[in-house]
Structure 1
């Protein structure tokens, strides 16, 4: 006879099909409630007790004295065991968490807001130990070790290159004193800032100047540019006894618009200045000398043949001051430095004729040079390239329309341009 099997499953009772009901907590909002805790590393035992404290002032245990909602209050959770302290590391914001408590007897689930805390832990035995300071070298070594293990092929090559270029400081400890002593001996011979400035001023490619001058006319004395022996050979009378059309042929360099304009203006004035006429004649000699020196080989005899109207004294003076001879040759050479020196002497004379306010564009066209290069030479003489003020226009007797043209102005006290420092590369 077959035995009847008895089912061990619990029969469904009548109340099991009832739906669960949820209600909000009716307790005061500020009353201490449940707290959600997250332990990302070490979890404490279930017997560990925790306390909740309010922050933002003197920490105190929370009760039901505050009116604010418990979940919104800034709080922290703290607890401890025999070896570990637990405390809140942070309290996440931006999310709202709810905790439900289900009552089996009534079938009601009560919902209440709850804060969330992420807890960190501190080992009690390690609290009294100070952290070891990490040096820059240790950081570099650790970074190199990571690069060797996980870096790309390119990163590993860079690490090896850096290791090869590393300087062994310990190997230089024995020579530190010797290096310091040699550096001190070497720096003793270096000039001071004032001495270096004086050396730079003395080697400038400009005429002899008076740094203590109080007026522009005293900066570059006339006979420091044109020696008295050469000055006596210059004659202004031939330009005053002929007409305008006959004056230009008397000049050795006849294509200078700057010279022709000034010569006509001076000779046609009621009281022509013979000094300025002689200066213009000498400037014409210098321009012709420069043109001839650049285009052909120099030689005293050849120069005198080319410049038939120039006295031998002037020819000898230009050759001696603005040429130089190589060691292996007696033939004079017109170098770039001598050309610069010739131009600055010429510009000093131009400033004197122009009452120390010269139109550099007109001179640049006469010399077939750029205005910028001519302005640079005027600046090296202590001039400022600027537009004239109304006072300057009135002093020079120029019309108001000349205010738009920049001119080289020589002012006192004399100031030479300072050398530019090297720009730092980014």
Structure 2
């Protein structure tokens, strides 16, 4: 009967206006509080304590409650609220950044009593990390201070980002404790070892990088410099055979022979021509009769002249004009022109009338330079003056030296006898200038320059 009467009384209160009143609790009575845990949360039975700014446990003084810090701790983690605004000694100013009210409705009297409940935002601190605060870097300290300010004064968006960062932080308890951590550690160790077993070795990485160099095919196990590079890949025998030598050899003098070359401003080529075809024999009316070996070298000289003129005619990034190229090369055979275009250009779209278009890319430009240097090394007995080639190419001596080193050459300073010879022949004005000149000499076993590690020196 009592239960039936209570139900009738509650049913009778439904639909009526609720009376709202503020709680008038004594100052010493316990008061409610709201807690927000952005990241870790303590067990539900964890006790909490209110502290004043001085560290004292506060009682029921309402003014001190406005300045209190709510704290709790477990065996591993400490939790402390951080969202209070500072107040002065007289209690003036705000105590908490956000104020909430908890309502308790009495169903018998239909009265809703509101109790002040400040919101505490808790920040966890791992106890084991507090033992060495000096190890905290300046960046970490600034980040912690910025997070504290952001949680108090920041916008909703900033506070949301801070909470997300707190949730994503990792510590020694993020992956569990005890056996869970040990099992995870063993699993990670085995995974790392298995992945490391599939990684390529340093030697295989170096070999792969060397294979991608824009240089001619090479034999790393060569026993002599002449066995290092495959000259058939640099210039085929068909290209060399397509170079006519009859008129070239029977020309009356050096100037006439030089005028037959497609490129005439190379001191290196001029020196090799004088060595292979002495001008005295032609001046006396005798036609030189070079040996088979010298004829091959003469064809290499003409081929190098083709390469110089090719580089001077075809500009990187621009489509190749075949008609212009043929004219500048001195109308050689189609076998020579086709071989040059196939070796030192790439096919691209954009040819007029659907014709094949070709262009010298950055990689092809570098390939052309290294192939030219290999031809020069072959003609010079695998030891070439760096400065002479730099002047012919119109490039800096340092850059050309780097190209020679990329081919496996060593840059060797001239000996005392070589320095005197340079000064005597006029190739160097002083002994000091002669000492700066270097020769690029191909050495075996073949060694390419190592990749530089770390930042360059300033």
TM-score bracket, normalised by the shorter chain, equals: 0.5 to 0.7
Q: Say whether residues 1:350 and 2:371 are aligned partners.
A: no
Q: Please state if 1:361 is matched with 2:387.
A: yes
Partner of 2:207: 198
Q: What secondary structure does 1:252 align onto?
A: coil
Distance 2:145 2:338 in 1: 69
How far apart are residue 230 of structure 1 and its match?
0.9
Once residues 350 and 425 of structure 1 are traced to their aligned partners in structure 2, the CA distance between those partners, rounded to angstroms, is 33
Alignment-derived partner of residue 305 in structure 2 = 284
Aligned length: 284
1:160 to 112, 137, 145: 145
What is the SS of the residue equivalent to 1:170?
A: coil
Residue number in structure 2 paired with 1:121? none
For 1:381 and 1:162, how far apart are their aligned partners in 2?
56
Change (3 A) 1:196 1:268: same
SS at match of 1:253: coil
Distance 1:167 1:306, change over 3 A: same
Counterpart in 2 of 1:412? 444
Identify if the C-alpha distance between structure 1 residues 183 and 142 changes in structure 2 by more than 3 Å, giving closer, same or farther. closer
TM-score calculated relative to the size of structure 1: 0.57
Cα shift at 1:172: 3.9
The match for 1:247 is 257
CA contact (8 A) 2:262 2:328 kept: no
Give me the whole-angstrom Cα distance separating, in 1, the residues matched to 2:412 and 2:398: 13
How far does residue 267 in structure 1 lie from its aligned partner after superposition? Answer: 1.1
Are 2:384 and 2:439, in contact at CA under 8 Å, matched by a contact in 1? yes
Residue 274 of structure 2: aligned partner:
264
Q: 1:140 aligns with which of 103, 122, 132?
A: 132
**CA deviation after TM superposition for structure 1 residue 327, in Å:** 6.6
Contact 2:349 2:357 (8 Å CA) reproduced: no
Inter-CA distance 216–140: structure 2 relative to 1 (3 Å threshold): same
In the superposition, relative to structure 1, how do residues 372 and 176 fare at CA in structure 2: closer, same or farther (>3 Å)? same
- Counterpart CA distance in 1 for 2:457 and 2:213 is 29
- Superposed displacement of residue 408, structure 1: 0.5
Q: Deviations over 1:84-142 (max 9, x none)?
A: xxxxxxxxxxxxxxxxxxxxxxxxxxxxxxxxxxxxxxxxxxxxxxxxxxx98334347
Structure-2 residue corresponding to 1:275 = 296
The normalised TM-score by structure 2 is 0.53
Counterpart in the other structure of 2:113: none
Please tell me the root mean square deviation across aligned C-alpha atoms, in Å: 3.9
- Of the structure 1 ranges 182-191 and 315-324, higher mean CA displacement relative to structure 2 is found in 182-191
Secondary structure of 1:208's match?
Answer: coil
Query: Compared with structure 1, are the counterparts of its residues 172 and 254 closer, same or farther at alpha carbon in structure 2 (3 Å cutoff)?
Result: farther
Q: Distance in 1 between matches of 2:135 and 2:275?
A: 80
Q: Matches of 1:355 and 1:333 in 2, distance apart?
A: 33
- Aligned equivalents of 1:143 and 1:380: distance in 2? 47
Distance 1:392 1:212 in 2: 31
- The whole-number CA distance in structure 2 between the counterparts of 1:313 and 1:185 is 54
Q: 1:240 to 1:156 in 2, by over 3 A?
A: closer
Which of 205, 211, 216 pairs up with 2:220?
A: 211
**Larger Rg over CA atoms:** 1
Q: Provide, for residues 334-393 of structure 1, a one-character-per-residue CA deviation record: whole Å limited to 9, x for no partner.
A: 011111111111111101111111111111112111111111110000001111347999
Q: For structure 1, which runs of at least 5 residues remain unmatched after alignment?
A: 1-134
- Aligned partners of 1:239 and 1:267 also within 8 Å: no
Match of 2:454 in 1: 422
Distance 1:425 1:259 in 2: 38
1:303 aligns with 325
Contact 1:234 1:281 in 2 (8 A): yes
